[in-house]
Amino acid sequence: MIDKNGLEIGNDGRPTHVWIREDQEGKSVIDLTLANRPIVRLTILADDHATGSDREVMEWEVGVDRQEEADHERVVGWNLAAMMEEDTEAPEKLWMEPAKERIQLDAECTEDEVEQEAAWCQQAISSILNATPKKIRICASLWNAEIEERRRTVGREGMR
């Protein structure tokens, strides 16, 4: 399965599970870290990162180049307010060139022609906006203050 999906194992043999039964203690690598790109760092965090279980907290980092990272950000708009008045000439020129080649729709056009024209306009406007003003992006983060607080709470509960 790992080879079939081109995954890489990030574990390096350090134990991720500690168990104690009666008078015996043991350690094992029960948790597996898999990624579809090189794992450049895998850290097993100190005990102050309580999980409420007998597992260790693992933190890992995968290798991603800046372009690939940018491609995974979602564009949610464009910063039109920051454009200077002279900057508005470039988008206008980019619009006029392909638009003058388009056939003008009239009252006799079909519903399909209207749909095609709307799709073309949307694609053309997005292309122009992608080429001119700065894009506004969001990049999802899996770690935030809410998660940090929940981890602290779980850690405190585990210590009682």
Residues 114-157: tens digit of each pLDDT: 999 999 888 888 888 878 777 776 655 556 677 777 777 776 66
Q: What is the pLDDT of residue 144?
A: 64
* 60, 13: one domain: yes
* 63, 98: one domain: no
How far, in Å, CA of 135 to CA of 75, rounded?
6
Segments forming the whole domain that contains residue 55: 8-69
Section 1-9 average pLDDT: 84
* 81, 63: one domain: no
For residue range 11-61, list pLDDT tens digits in order.
888 887 777 788 888 888 777 888 888 888 888 776 665 566 667 777 878
* 107, 62: one domain: no
How far, in Å, CA of 30 to CA of 91, rounded?
56
* 34, 49: one domain: yes
Q: Decide if pLDDT at 2 tops 70.
A: yes
Q: Decide if pLDDT at 110 tops 90.
A: yes
- Flag whether 148 is in a domain: no
Mean pLDDT of the chain: 76
Is residue 43 within 8 Å of residue 60, measured between CB atoms? yes
Tell me the C-alpha to C-alpha distance, in Å, between residue 127 and each of 35, 65, 70: 33, 24, 17
* 20, 58: one domain: yes
- Flag whether 30 is in a domain: yes
Q: What is the pLDDT of residue 33?
A: 83
- Flag whether 149 is in a domain: no
- Flag whether 90 is in a domain: yes
pTM score, whole prediction: 0.37
For residue range 117-127, list pLDDT tens digits in order.
999 888 888 88
Residue with tokens 């043991």: 26
* 86, 36: one domain: no
- Going by C-beta distance under 8 Å and a sequence separation of 6 or more, which residues neighbour residue 1? 7
* 22, 64: one domain: yes
Q: How many domains does the chain have?
A: 2
* 81, 133: one domain: yes
Q: What is the pLDDT of residue 112?
A: 92
Q: What is the pLDDT of residue 126?
A: 83
